């Protein structure tokens, strides 16, 4: 009975808190607002459990709610602003005086100082300024969540779930189901009667394992194909087939065979009313082409060549099937090369592919990692379009950079290239900031590292082609820190691997000017330090940047103020691991890539239906789709 009463009190308090936030009419970043609302609820349930002995007194709970909301509003990040004051909107929920409000706000602050500081919250001062800042909010919410977890006992329900069934005495209902003691932090979903809260705070639910991700991908692919092909035979008319479909299919088939694999290894199965149809990649390509031409939301806002779009669309379909099947014997970079598709060309169309309706959230994150991979590595290959563009600009252009209000010097490259450069420089800034925080490097040193990286990118651009941009970042951190508080290169490399799980093109097989391949430390000693030495020793004064787009005048803080680190799926598929790890690197930092398995020693046992489906002599298999011409 007490458990049900406590649950009812929680439900009422949550409803009141939701109403308060709605009435405050907070404007700003929706994602950050969601996290702030989550933080207010986590604070409330933590204080109620630790300080008020999980009281069922509605009076005490309402006063605590006022104190929590007041505490949060006083520390609201600059990206958010409340259009109404708490004192003007609470008459519908609770009457209080200013002394009462101040008393409970101070109790919240006392709780935070006593319990949260020892757990490692990130704040600017002892008044908890910056507690909800964009940089610190995720860490701080995890800290509160972990503290609340220590307050749970066997008979308690977990209030970190927002949507719950009051008749379920064990725990609230949630899309995330995990052991109570193993939860490190959860997204609070404000699923009450206010529909606008659902729009703000309804996160995408990521499947829990690579296997379920694969199943969801196959379901999505099947739905796309079924939108066009209503009959299971998948009979096409020659005139309706998307351009170059069969030519592109032949290209990827040849690449598969060159790796010693059968072309059937990249076929996928479509479920048509419990009948499995084996299909090639061009079927998905043709279906997506028709789908994208109908969806106005995917119209591009830049000029592009139709053939470029078709080529990138087929590459996207290849990656989609490879991701769904967890194929790791062909890298994404190899796919681009086989179609003579530059990383920059594919980069331009990623927003289109990411916005295809009903695309699984985890695959969208995978595309985001591909985008980052292109920004930091693939896009900077030798003889790539970016290489040739910058080389021509450096050698032949007499044009001067132009000044504007956003960046003191603006380059003269085409707009889509400027966007690419801006995104790359920002991603480099995020990585510098993340690594420096992890290594506890102070702010002034961090800014010097940022200046060094910008100098290399702009004035010594030639050295970055054919290399991962993170090579320059790691060398810069090592060189600058060496002047004050030296960091071992091994420690720096280990920290980078831990954070980014990347390997390819960073630590080994770096090509030198003489054609030899070396480790990163050898590259630092023979090439990097030679070109950076004068700048590091402050023998080069302020200059107008040679490649202005790669050397913005912003400080590091200004450059990344509106940016956030790349989101990752909590479960990485073998295909995503293969995107990050170099097949030539003999290291255990990433781990050997294996076929998807839940047993480290034995292959997975397949259901009988799937096993029969994969047998070569599948007599009941529906034949491959064929092209039939219209009768003349």
Which residues on adjacent β-strands are paired with residue 326? none
pLDDT at position 2, please?
A: 67
pLDDT at position 238, please?
A: 45
The residue out of 153, 173, 200 marking a domain boundary is 200
**What is the percent of the chain where pLDDT is above 70?**
74
Q: 83 or 179: which carries more pLDDT confidence?
A: 83
pLDDT band, residue 319 (cuts 50/70/90): very high
Mean pLDDT of 81-95: 71
Q: What span, in angstroms and rounded, lies between the C-alpha atoms of 296 and 143?
A: 43
386-426 pLDDT, tens digit each:
999 998 888 875 545 544 433 444 457 888 898 899 999 99
Strands 236-237 and 517-518: unpaired
pLDDT at position 531, please?
A: 92
- Least confident range from 157-166, 173-182, 270-279: namely 173-182
pLDDT band, residue 302 (cuts 50/70/90): low
Mean pLDDT of 273-280: 76
Q: Would the pLDDT of 189 be above 80? A: no
pLDDT at position 405, please?
A: 36
Strands 26-28 and 627-628: unpaired
pLDDT band, residue 305 (cuts 50/70/90): confident
Q: What span, in angstroms and rounded, lies between the C-alpha atoms of 389 and 406?
A: 23
Looking at the structure, tell me whether residues 7 and 142 fall in a common domain.
yes
Q: Which two tokens stand for residue 109?
A: 């602050």
CB neighbourhood size of 618 (10 A): 12
Q: Which two tokens stand for residue 106?
A: 């101070």
In terms of Cα–Cα distance, which of 559, 551, 556 is closest to 410?
551
Establish if 18 belongs to a structural domain. yes
Q: Are 311 and 339 in contact (CB under 8 A)?
A: yes
pLDDT at position 190, please?
A: 33
Q: What does 373-424 look like in DSSP terms, one character per residue?
A: HHHHTGGG-TTSHHHHHHHHHHHH--PPPB--SSSSSB--S-HHHHHHHHHH
Q: Which two tokens stand for residue 261?
A: 């694999």
- Report if pTM > 0.75: no
Establish if 248 belongs to a structural domain. yes
Q: 469 or 305: which carries more pLDDT confidence?
A: 469
Looking at the structure, tell me whether residues 261 and 350 fall in a common domain.
yes
Mean pLDDT of 137-149: 88
The residue out of 200, 226, 243 marking a domain boundary is 200
Q: Structural domain tally of the chain?
A: 2
Establish if 234 belongs to a structural domain. yes
pLDDT band, residue 564 (cuts 50/70/90): low
Place of tokens 């994208």: 292
Q: What's the domain range around 49?
A: 2-200
Q: What span, in angstroms and rounded, lies between the C-alpha atoms of 458 and 291?
A: 42
Establish if 19 belongs to a structural domain. yes
202-229 pLDDT, tens digit each:
344 444 577 788 888 999 999 898 887 7
Taking the CA of residue 555 as centre, how many other CA atoms within 13 Å lie in the half-sphere pointing to its CB? 8
Rg (CA), the chain: 28
Q: In the predicted model, what is the mean pLDDT of the chain?
A: 77
Establish if 470 belongs to a structural domain. no
pLDDT at position 182, please?
A: 36
Looking at the structure, tell me whether residues 232 and 169 fall in a common domain.
no
Establish if 466 belongs to a structural domain. no
Apex CA 397: angle with CA 391 and CA 401, to 5°?
105
Q: Which two tokens stand for residue 356?
A: 């295809």
pLDDT band, residue 566 (cuts 50/70/90): low
Distance of CA 590 to the CA centre of its chain: 19
Looking at the structure, tell me whether residues 323 and 232 fall in a common domain.
yes
Apex CA 142: angle with CA 141 and CA 146, to 5°?
120
DSSP state of 278: E
487-519 pLDDT, tens digit each:
998 899 999 988 888 877 788 888 888 888 899
In terms of Cα–Cα distance, which of 484, 475, 486 is closest to 522?
475
Q: Are 424 and 469 in contact (CB under 8 A)?
A: yes
Looking at the structure, tell me whether residues 326 and 295 fall in a common domain.
yes
Place of tokens 């009076």: 59
pLDDT at position 108, please?
A: 93
Helix axes 415-438, 361-376, angle to 10 degrees: 100
pLDDT at position 242, please?
A: 67
Q: What does 526-539 look like in DSSP terms, one character per residue?
A: IIIHHHHHHHHTT-
pLDDT at position 193, please?
A: 33
Establish if 303 belongs to a structural domain. yes
Looking at the structure, tell me whether residues 211 and 169 fall in a common domain.
no
pLDDT at position 162, please?
A: 54
Mean pLDDT of 530-542: 85
Looking at the structure, tell me whether residues 81 and 8 fall in a common domain.
yes
pLDDT band, residue 261 (cuts 50/70/90): very high
pLDDT at position 378, please?
A: 94
Strands 236-237 and 627-628: parallel
Looking at the structure, tell me whether residues 266 and 353 fall in a common domain.
yes
pLDDT at position 530, please?
A: 92
Looking at the structure, tell me whether residues 245 and 165 fall in a common domain.
no
Q: Are 260 and 271 in contact (CB under 8 A)?
A: no
pLDDT at position 206, please?
A: 47
Looking at the structure, tell me whether residues 163 and 252 fall in a common domain.
no
Q: What span, in angstroms and rounded, lies between the C-alpha atoms of 230 and 235?
A: 10
Most confident segment among 260-274, 283-297, 428-442: 428-442
Q: 244 or 178: which carries more pLDDT confidence?
A: 244
pLDDT at position 416, please?
A: 86
Looking at the structure, tell me whether residues 130 and 261 fall in a common domain.
no
Establish if 500 belongs to a structural domain. no
Q: Which helix (H) or strand (E) holds 172?
A: none
- Least confident range from 435-449, 474-488, 613-627: namely 613-627
pLDDT at position 20, please?
A: 87
The residue out of 175, 200, 225 marking a domain boundary is 200
Q: Give 367's contacts (C-beta < 8 A, 6+ positions apart).
A: 350, 353, 354
1-44 pLDDT, tens digit each:
567 777 788 888 888 888 888 888 888 878 888 889 999 999 99
Looking at the structure, tell me whether residues 175 and 236 fall in a common domain.
no
Q: Which two tokens stand for residue 164?
A: 């719950």
């Amino acid at each position: 009975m007490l458990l049900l009463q406590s649950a009812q009190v929680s439900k009422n308090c949550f409803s009141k808190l939701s109403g308060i936030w709605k009435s405050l009419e907070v404007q700003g970043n929706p994602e950050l607002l969601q996290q702030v609302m989550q933080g207010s609820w986590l604070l409330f349930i933590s204080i109620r459990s630790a300080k008020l002995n999980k009281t069922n007194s509605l009076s005490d709970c309402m006063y605590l709610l006022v104190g929590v909301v007041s505490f949060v509003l006083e520390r609201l990040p600059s990206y958010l602003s409340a259009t109404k004051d708490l004192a003007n909107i609470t008459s519908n929920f609770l009457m209080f005086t200013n002394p009462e409000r101040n008393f409970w706000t101070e109790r919240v602050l006392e709780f935070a100082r006593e319990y949260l500081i020892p757990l490692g919250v990130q704040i600017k001062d002892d008044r908890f300024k910056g507690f909800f800042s964009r940089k610190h909010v995720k860490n701080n919410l995890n800290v509160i969540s972990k503290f609340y977890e220590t307050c749970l006992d066997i008979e308690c329900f977990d209030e970190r779930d927002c949507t719950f069934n009051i008749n379920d005495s064990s725990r609230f209902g949630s899309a995330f189901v995990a052991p109570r003691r193993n939860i490190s932090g959860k997204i609070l979903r404000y699923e009450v009667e206010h529909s606008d809260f659902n729009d703000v705070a309804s996160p995408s639910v990521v499947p829990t394992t690579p296997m379920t991700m694969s199943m969801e991908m196959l379901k999505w692919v099947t739905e796309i194909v079924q939108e066009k092909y209503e009959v299971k035979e998948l009979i096409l008319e020659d005139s309706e087939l998307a351009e170059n479909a069969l030519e592109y299919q032949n290209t990827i088939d040849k690449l598969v065979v060159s790796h010693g694999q059968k072309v059937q290894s990249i076929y996928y199965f479509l479920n048509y009313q419990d009948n499995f149809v084996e299909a090639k990649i061009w079927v998905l390509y043709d279906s997506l082409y028709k789908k994208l031409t109908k969806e106005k939301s995917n119209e591009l806002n830049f000029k592009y060549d139709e053939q470029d779009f078709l080529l990138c669309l087929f590459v996207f379909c290849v990656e989609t099937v490879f991701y769904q099947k967890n194929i790791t014997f062909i890298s994404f970079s190899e796919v681009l090369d086989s179609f003579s598709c530059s990383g920059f060309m594919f980069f331009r169309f990623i927003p289109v592919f990411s916005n295809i309706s009903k695309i699984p959230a985890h695959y969208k994150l995978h595309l985001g990692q591909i985008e980052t991979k292109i920004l930091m590595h693939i896009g900077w290959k030798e003889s790539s379009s970016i290489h040739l563009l910058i080389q021509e600009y450096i050698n032949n252009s007499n044009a001067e950079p132009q000044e504007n209000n956003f960046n003191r010097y603006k380059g003269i490259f085409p707009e889509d290239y400027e966007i690419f450069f801006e995104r790359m420089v920002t991603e480099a800034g995020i990585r510098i900031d993340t690594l420096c925080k992890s290594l506890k490097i102070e702010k002034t040193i961090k800014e010097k590292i940022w200046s060094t990286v910008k100098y290399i990118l702009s004035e010594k651009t030639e050295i970055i082609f054919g290399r991962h941009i993170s090579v320059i970042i790691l060398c810069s951190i090592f060189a600058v820190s060496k002047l004050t508080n030296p960091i071992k290169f091994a420690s720096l490399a280990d920290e980078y691997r831990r954070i980014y799980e990347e390997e390819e093109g960073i630590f080994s097989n770096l090509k030198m000017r003489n054609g030899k391949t070396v480790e990163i430390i050898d590259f630092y000693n023979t090439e990097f330090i030679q070109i950076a030495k004068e700048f590091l020793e402050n023998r080069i004064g302020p200059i107008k940047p040679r490649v202005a787009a790669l050397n913005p005048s912003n400080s590091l803080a200004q450059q990344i103020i509106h940016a956030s680190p790349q989101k990752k799926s909590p479960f990485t598929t073998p295909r995503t691991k293969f995107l990050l790890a170099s097949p030539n690197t003999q290291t255990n930092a990433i781990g050997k890539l294996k076929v998807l398995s839940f047993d480290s020693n034995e292959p997975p046992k397949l259901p009988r239906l799937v096993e029969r489906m994969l047998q070569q002599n599948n007599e009941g298999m529906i034949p491959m789709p064929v092209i039939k011409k219209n009768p003349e």
